[in-house]
């Protein structure tokens, strides 16, 4: 499996299940979390 770097502002495809869990629909989403390198504790 290839691991990809996701950065703030990236467009990603997310699998959303139907409410009855009979199927899924793939929808675009925007990443809004901070980049890992910018995250400090």
SS3 track for 2-39: CCCCCCCCCEEEEEEECCCCCCEEEEEEECCCCCHHHC
Residue 1: inside a domain: yes
How many domains does the chain fold into? 1
Residue 16: inside a domain: yes
Residue 20: inside a domain: yes
Maximum Cα interatomic distance, the chain, rounded to a whole number of Å? 40
- Interatomic CA distance for residues 11 and 24, integer angstroms: 19
DSSP reduced 3-state for 1:
coil
Tens place of pLDDT for every residue, the chain, 41 residues?
677 788 889 999 999 999 999 999 999 999 998 766 555 55
pLDDT for 23 equals 96
Print the domain residue range for 22. Answer: 1-31
């Amino acid at each position: 499996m290839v691991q990809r770097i996701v950065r703030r502002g990236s467009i990603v495809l997310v699998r959303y299940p139907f409410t009855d869990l009979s199927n899924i629909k793939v929808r675009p989403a925007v990443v809004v979390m901070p980049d890992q390198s910018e995250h400090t504790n």
